[in-house]
Amino acid sequence: MKMEAAGLVFVLLILAQSSAGSDDKLNVLLILADDGGFEMGTYRNRICQTPNLDALAHKSLIFNNAYTSVSSCSPSRSALLTGMPSHQNGIYGLHQGVHHFNSFSDVKSLPNILREHGIATGIIGKKDVGPKDTYKFDYEQTEENHSVQQVGRNITFMKLLTRQFLQNYTQQKPFFLYVAFHDPHRCGHTNPEYGNFCESFGNGDEGMGLIPDWQPIYYQYDEIDLPYFIPDTIQARKDVAEQYTTISRLDQGVGLILKELKDAGFDNNTLVIYSSDNGIPFPNGRTNLYDSGIAEPMFISSPLHRERWNQVTYSLTSLLDVVPTILDWFGIDDSNDVAPVELTGKSLLPLLTKEPKNVTNERVFASHSLHEVTMYYPMRMVRTHRYKLIHNLNYQSAFPIDQDFYISPTFQDILNRTINKENTYWFKTLKQYYNRPEWELYDLKHDPEELNNLAGKPDYKKIMQDLELQLYDWQNKTQDPWICSPHAVLEDKGAYKNNPQCMTLDNM
């Protein structure tokens, strides 16, 4: 920890500072937050200060119905970079450390596809996917060769790394640069000295180092408007206030990255996409397939499509759409370059000019298997504008809690209040949170908080059957190994190779 601070200043001395030439070819800048949510003015948060993200939104199409395909860091990033859900690309849970989940070696990721087409690729920040050859960038500054705090939270370092990439890798080629912040992810589990959200990292306090470009903002916990899924307690409010401080660092970092893009002369030919990997690390958030766990902020700013700048789209969108969108921007045919896999996402470029008239057939899917290696709780989901169906495959076990969330002030307060039989000031109980039925069906129009489970209700039988079929078809199309779970076994080898079957366990 103590050497983190030294690195903050050292990097200022080792990177040259000079202007980069402009490029008349089309480029892409993809910016990703880590566990980021809707804590910004654009999404009507009146407290958290995010002027740079709000400025980007003014030059973007703003997405109000964007969702991750999996509410977990590595699986979401693998889906983002392949266009394939995690059960299809092979990263079933967290990649780092002992968990060791990797994509299959024959998976073709976005940077590998783009390199084959002469496009320079770079990544700065949190990578959290593997193996290396499957996700290979020309320029890599990640936790594989730096501290993740440096490349993911030190916004001065990230600014200079961006400058270095734009100077050295973009002179003759179009480029794809992926800037993956580690903010506002919790760090109290691994680095408690920096605070619950690393809100003290680089702030100039003793032992915290100094990030020259960061101007820390601290928030009053009693002024915060909490989302419905966070308990209204002092402990939770203080937790959120610390999260806001880290989001402000993220926002200032986004501003620095965008300034580097402009100073290098690329702001008029670069598609900029901003989003987050999964829900925020609070109860009912990350690792859940409720909207509080999968709904994501998203902006797409195109200098070639200004018709809908600062407008909102309500079209259902998935992070699985990012790869088709970027391939479309570069004029690459995904049917040829991602073969033999057929991507289930769609290009979002048409939305930049026109809102679809008919959205009745729009739907998004999600596939969660694990977070930490011990957190086996596979779930599958289909969501339309009106309804959501969740299939909890491991419903006979309690819903698992991840390590960094477990020690958070918010969860510890819920836990202690529950043990002491006190009011938790939460919208559900821990017992309800842990124990879930196999099927959950929600009418999102009348029940946006997803509290009234309609599965099994006679009036919703036809709706549930239709959604089950849509979910099954998507699982089949994406080669989901869990397609027969939990009441049958998939046989697709030998005599069943050309006629896969779900063989019943008779355990209904």
Q: Express each pLDDT in 100-140 by its tens digit.
A: 899 999 999 999 999 999 999 999 999 999 999 999 999 99
Task: Give, for 274, the enclosing helix (H) or strand (E).
Answer: strand 270-276
Asked if 18 and 167 touch (Cβ cutoff 8 Å), the reply is yes
Is residue 187 part of the annotated active site? The answer reads no
pLDDT in tens, 415-439: 999 999 999 999 999 999 999 999 9
Q: Answer yes or no: is pLDDT of 69 > 60.
A: yes
Alpha-carbon gap, residue 366 to 279, rounded angstroms: 13
Asked if 41 and 267 touch (Cβ cutoff 8 Å), the reply is no
pLDDT in tens, 320-373: 999 999 999 999 987 777 767 889 999 999 999 999 999 989 999 999 999 999
Which among 48, 73, 187, 198 is annotated as catalytic?
73
Alpha-carbon gap, residue 173 to 27, rounded angstroms: 9
pTM: 0.94
Asked if 366 and 383 touch (Cβ cutoff 8 Å), the reply is yes
Q: How many Cα neighbours within 13 Å face the side chain of 65? A: 18
Put the strands of the sheet holding 376-383 in their side by side order: 364-370, 376-383, 387-392, 439-443
Asked if 490 and 484 touch (Cβ cutoff 8 Å), the reply is yes
